[in-house]
Structure 1
Amino acid sequence: MAPPISAPTKASAPPSSSFLQFFISLDTSFSLHLHTFFQFIPRFLLKSLEICGDGRLFFPVAISLLFLLTPSLWSPHPFFLSLLVGSFLDLVLVGLIKVLIRRPRPVYNKSDMSIAFAADHWSFPSGHSSRVFFVSQFLFLSIENVREMLQEEGLRVWVSGFGAGDPNNTELFLKVIFGWAIATSVSRVLLGRHFVADVAAGACLGLIEGWVTHRFIHQQLSGLIGGIK
C-alpha cells in the first residue's frame, strides 16, 4: 500500500524578506502615528515649508543668483554653478531611485499637491529632503565661500535678517539653513506626503550629494573657470 501523499507546505519567506516586510510595516505604522498626532500643527505652516523646498522655486532662485552674481556668461560664479549642477544631479538620482523602488505614497496623502508632484506616485526617497539637505551640506562644507559671499553688497542686504551680513555670524546663518532642512523634512511626514524612511533616505542622499558636489564638482569647476579667466 502506497504511503499517503502529504499536502504541500507553504515555503517560508527568506529571513531578509521577512525583515524587510517588518521594517516597512513598522515604518508605515510609525509614519501614520506621527501624521495623526501632529494634526494640531496648522497645515499652512507645513505647506509653506513644502513650497520653500519645492524645486519649482529653488531652481529659478539658483539660476537667478548665478546670473546676477556672474560678471560674464563666459566666467559664471563657480559656487552657484556647482550648486546648480549638484541640484540637477539630485533631481536625476531621486528620479532613478523612485522608478527602481516604486514605493507608493501614503494612502492618507491629501490631494492638495501641485499638479507636477501629484503625478509623481512614488514615495521613496523624499526629493524635498534630499534637496534641502544637499543645499545645507554644500553650504556647510563651503563655509569659507559662504563667508566671502555674505560680505558682497547684494547678498549682505538679502541675509541681513539672519545677522549673516556680519562675517562672524556665518555659522548662525548655516544653523538656520540646517534648521530649515530639518523642519522641511519633518513636514513631509506630517503632511502625509512621505513615510519616515523616505525622509531619512532622502536626507542621507542629500548629505552625500553635498559632499560629492563640494569635493569634486566645485573643485573642478573652480579650476576650469579660473583657467578661463
Structure 2
Amino acid sequence: MAPTTAATKSTSFHHRIITLDAAVSKSIHTLFHTSIPGSLLLLLEYSADFRFSFPLALSLYFTRVRRPYLIQFLVGLLVDLLFVGLVKSIFRRSRPLYNPDMKPAVSVDHFSFPSGHASRVFFVASFISLLDDFSGNCWLVLGVWTWAVLTSCSRVLLGRHFVSDVLAGACLGVLEAAFVFRFLKVKTIAVSYLQN
C-alpha cells in the first residue's frame, strides 16, 4: 500500500508543478505579449530557427576564412537538433493552447518540452563565450547573450512554450556548448600532438 501512496504523491506533485508552470506561462503571455511588437517577437523566432542558423553556419564553413571551431559549431547545432528531438519525443508535452498560428516543420515540433529555440540560442551564446577568439570582444558576447535571453523570452510571449520548456532548453544549450567545446579542446590537443 505504501508504494502506491508514494507514487500518487509523486504524480500529484508533478501535476501541481505542471499546472503552476502552465498558469505562470499563460499569465506572462497575457500580460506582456501585446506590449512588445509581434514583428520583433517573430524576428527573434526566425533568427533562431534551425532552418536559418544551420545553413548560415554551413555557408560560413565553406568560405575562404575557415575557423577551426566552425566544424565543432556545426556538430553542436546537429547535436542540439538530435537531443531536442529525442527529449520532445520522450516527454510529448503539448504546446500551450493559446499558441497562435504555429506551423511545425516536423512532427516532433508539435511538442513543447524542451524549447529548441532556447537550447539553440543558449548553445550559440555559450559557445561564443568559451572561444578565445571572442574573449576580448565583450560587446559581441553581451550582444549574443542579450539575443539569447530575448529569444528565449519570446517563446513564452508568443505562446509557443511554457516557462519550464525555455529553462530546460537553455540548460540543454549550455551543456551542449560545454560538451562541444571540450571536444574542440581534445581535438586541438590531439592535432597538435600528431603534428609534433
Is 1:218 the counterpart of 2:184? The answer is yes
* 2:44 and 2:154 in contact (8 A); partners too: yes
Choose the corresponding residue for 1:145, options 133, 152, 167.
133
Q: Using the alignment, how far apart are the partners of 2:49 and 2:96 within structure 1?
A: 19
Match of 1:93 among 83, 99, 120: 83
Q: Which amino acid aligns with 1:195?
A: F
Report the CA distance shift for 1:63/1:186 in structure 2 as closer, same or farther (over 3 A): same
> Measured at CA, do residues 180 and 24 of structure 1 come closer, stay the same or move farther in structure 2, by a change above 3 Å?
same
Contact preservation (8 Å) 2:130, 2:181: yes
1:129 matched to 2:95: no
Matched, 1:199 2:187: no
Structure with higher Rg: it is: 1
2:13 is equivalent to residue 19 of structure 1: yes
Structure 2 match to 1:48: 43
Change (3 A) 1:115 1:28: closer
Question: Which residue of structure 2 lines up, in the alignment, with residue 183 of structure 1?
Answer: 150
Report the Cα distance in structure 2 between the residues aligned to 1:174 and 1:101, rounded to whole angstroms. Answer: 33
Deviation at 1:29, TM superposition (A): 0.4
Within 1, Cα distance between the matches of 2:170 and 2:188? Answer: 26
Displacement, 1:223? 4.4
Q: Distance in 1 between matches of 2:108 and 2:145?
A: 29
| 2:139 partner letter | L
The separation in 2 between residues aligned to 1:16 and 1:137, in whole angstroms, is: 34
In structure 2, what is the Cα distance between the partners aligned to 1:45 and 1:178? 17
Report deviation, 1:14: 2.1
The letter for the 2-side match of 1:33 is S
Residue by residue, what CA displacement relative to the aligned partner does 1:202-227 show, whole Å, maximum 9, x if unpaired?
A: 00010111111111x21244346665
Give unpaired runs (5+ residues) of structure 2: none
**What is the distance in 1 between the residues matched to 2:61 and 2:100?**
35
State the one-letter code of the partner of 1:41: I
Return the alpha-carbon distance in structure 2 between the equivalents of residues 204 and 136 of structure 1: 12
Q: Between the two proteins, what is the percent identity of the paired residues?
A: 44
One-letter amino acid matched to 1:85? V
| Contact 1:106–1:193 (CA under 8 A) maintained in structure 2 | yes
| TM-score, length of structure 1 as denominator length | 0.77
* Two-structure CA RMSD over aligned residues (Å): 2.1
Give unpaired runs (5+ residues) of structure 1.
1-10, 72-76, 148-167
Give the letter aligned to residue 35 of structure 2.
F
Letter of the 2:21 partner, please give it. Answer: D
Structure 1 residues 117 and 107: alpha-carbon distance in aligned structure 2, compared to 1, 3 A threshold: farther
After TM superposition, the structure 1 = structure 2 runs for residues 107-126 of structure 1, keeping only pairs within 5 Å, are: 107-111=97-101, 113-116=102-105, 120-126=109-115
Runs of 4 or more consecutive aligned structure 1 residues displaced over 4 Å after TM superposition: 223-228
Q: Distance in 2 between matches of 1:33 and 1:59?
A: 33
Structure with the higher helix share, 1 or 2: 2
Compute the displacement of 1:120 (Å): 1.8
Distance 1:115 1:14 in 2: 34
Q: Does the 8 Å CA contact 1:34/1:190 hold for their aligned counterparts?
A: yes
